[in-house]
Amino acid sequence: MRIELTVNGTRREADDVWEGESLLYALRERLGLPGSKNACEQGECGSCTVYLDGVPVCSCLVAAGQAQGREVTTVEGLRDGDELGPVQRAFVEKGAVQCGFCTPGFLMSTKDLLDRNPTPSDPEIREALAGNLCRCTGYEKILDAVRAAAAERAR
């Protein structure tokens, strides 16, 4: 089947989508957006997080057909023109990226948190990121990055 959706503000189409195909697969393999990562394909790790009509979802658990006519934002959509967006920059500057596999999901969850709550406490940050798993960083640098992104937005 063909699906039509808006991705990062641009109208896109994908053909030959099969009924059981995930949105994650369609984004990566059909629409050329490899930012969202496939780590578990079971809704456990958060590395595939995108926004569907503004709401964070695990794109590995969403059928591509469910995105028909809807708006999807991927990590590629967090850029600020040709530059990194503020949350992306904070992760780089605070050393919150090692292998990077989890990073797109953390970026999406962090931006969602800061859009809802610009000055989160540490427990609120931990709760917001509880669905994102990282095997490399020990999480402290990620917490530093979220705090830095929040401080930057407050300036």
* Shortest Å distance, C-beta 30 to ligand FES: 17
Q: At closest approach, how far in Å is the CB of 63 from ligand FES?
A: 13
Angle between helices 140-154 and 103-116 (to 10 degrees): 40
Selected from 47, 74, 88, 109, the binder of ligand FES by CB under 6 A is: 47
Three-state helix/strand/coil letters over 1-58: CCEEEEECCEEEEECCCCCCCEHHHHHHHHCCCCCCCCCCCCCCCCCCEEEECCEEEE
Return the number of the residue (85 or 136) whose C-beta is nearest ligand FES: 136
CB of 99 to ligand FES, least distance (A): 3
Contact flags string 133-152 toward ligand FES, x per CB under 6 A: -xxxx---------------
Contacts of 15 (CB under 8 A, 6+ apart): 2, 30
> How far is residue 149's CA from residue 37's CA, in Å, rounded to a whole number?
22
Residues 86-125 that bind ligand FES (CB under 6 A): 97-102
Cα–Cα distance measured from residue 83 to residue 98, given in angstroms and rounded to the nearest whole number: 20
Question: In whole angstroms, what is the distance from residue 11 CA to residue 103 CA?
Answer: 26
Nearer Cβ to ligand FES (66/98): 98
**Closest CB to ligand FES among residues 41, 71:** 41
**Minimum CB separation from ligand FES for residue 105, in Å?**
8
Which residues are near ligand FES by CB under 6 A? 38-41, 43-48, 58, 60, 97-102, 134-137
